[in-house]
């Protein structure tokens, strides 16, 4: 038989000895009229007693207690004599070790990729050639990079000028020749 559902909480609180006076009054009134709840209460009390009997609280002999107390005191004295950095309060709590390891690994990985990016953009470098490059700005760097091309351009320009010169020279000699020929014909 199930106890009355409205009084189930009171039943449990009663067997646990946790009913307040107000609740107790209402519960006792109900118990006086309800056979099922009375039986249920008896069964629960018997169950708790059975569990207590099955799991007795251990007791230590006075000698064992004294020995235990001595071992705690010895441990405390030993701790007091340790240098400060070896004391437990300064040690890293064990549950933090995995979290800290993960954070360190992440920092290393992020640092590695960050360093790679710095190198790609030429922001961070250690070689002497690049230190020279660092001193001049990006525009100058482009000019330096295209220096060969500029030199070639200069050469081409010189060549064109030279060709122009030779062209003009040849045309003037041709004219002179023509004049000479005319003079000779007239003669």
Partner 1 sequence: MEAETEENRVALLNDEELVTRAKADDQRAITELIHRYQPKAYAIAFHLCSEEIDEVRDVTQEAFLKAIRSIKKFRGQASFSTWFYRIVVNTCRDFLRRKRKKEWLFSLRQGKPHGNGISQEKGKEQPDPKGHNNPMAVFTGKQLTHDVRNALKALPDRQRMVFQLKVLHEMTIREIAQVTGSSEGTIKSHLFRATHFLRNVLKDWAES
Q: How many whole angstroms separate alpha carbon 43 and alpha carbon 49? A: 10
CB closer to partner 1 out of 89 and 138: 89
CA proximity to 19, closest of 130, 11, 117: 11
- Does the footprint of partner 1 cover residue 50 (CB under 8 A)? yes
- Does the footprint of partner 1 cover residue 79 (CB under 8 A)? yes
Which runs of E-coded beta strand occur in the chain?
none
Copy the structure tokens of residue 174.
């041709």
How many residues bind partner 1, per CB under 8 A? 33
CB closer to partner 1 out of 4 and 107: 4
SS3 call for 146: coil
Q: How many whole angstroms separate alpha carbon 17 and alpha carbon 41? A: 12
Sole binder of partner 1 in the list 1, 22, 51, 99 (CB under 8 A): 51
SS3 call for 26: helix
Sole binder of partner 1 in the list 60, 106, 136, 143 (CB under 8 A): 60
SS3 call for 45: helix
- Does the footprint of partner 1 cover residue 150 (CB under 8 A)? no
- Does the footprint of partner 1 cover residue 72 (CB under 8 A)? yes
Shortest distance, CB of residue 65 to partner 1, whole angstroms? 6
- Does the footprint of partner 1 cover residue 73 (CB under 8 A)? yes
Q: What angle do CA 25, 27, 30 make, to 5 degrees?
A: 110
Shortest distance, CB of residue 47 to partner 1, whole angstroms? 4
Q: Phi and psi for 94 in degrees, rounded to 5?
A: -60, -35
Q: How many whole angstroms separate alpha carbon 73 and alpha carbon 66? A: 10
- Does the footprint of partner 1 cover residue 58 (CB under 8 A)? yes
| Per-residue binder mask for partner 1 (CB under 8 A), 4-43, x = binder | -----x--xx-xx-x------------------------x
In the complex, which residues of this chain contact partner 1 (CB under 8 A)?
A: 9, 12-13, 15-16, 18, 43-44, 46-48, 50-60, 65, 68-69, 71-73, 75-76, 79, 88-89
């Amino acid at each position: 038989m199930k106890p009355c559902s409205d009084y189930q909480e009171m039943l449990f609180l009663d067997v646990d000895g946790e009913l307040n006076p107000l609740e107790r009054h209402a519960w006792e009134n109900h118990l006086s009229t309800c056979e099922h709840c009375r039986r249920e209460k008896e069964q629960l009390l018997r169950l708790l007693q059975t569990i207590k009997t099955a799991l007795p609280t251990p007791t230590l002999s006075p000698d064992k207690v004294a020995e235990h107390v001595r071992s705690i005191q010895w441990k405390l004295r030993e701790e007091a004599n340790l240098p400060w950095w070896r004391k437990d309060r300064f040690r890293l709590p064990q549950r933090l070790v995995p979290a800290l390891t993960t954070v360190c690994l992440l920092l290393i990985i992020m640092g590695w990729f960050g360093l790679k990016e710095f190198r790609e953009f030429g922001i961070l470098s250690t070689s002497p050639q690049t230190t020279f490059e660092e001193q001049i700005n990006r525009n100058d760097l482009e000019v330096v990079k295209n220096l060969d091309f500029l030199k070639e351009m200069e050469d081409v320009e010189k060549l064109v000028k030279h060709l122009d010169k030779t062209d003009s020279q040849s045309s003037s000699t041709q004219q002179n020749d023509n004049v000479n020929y005319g003079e000779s014909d007239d003669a």
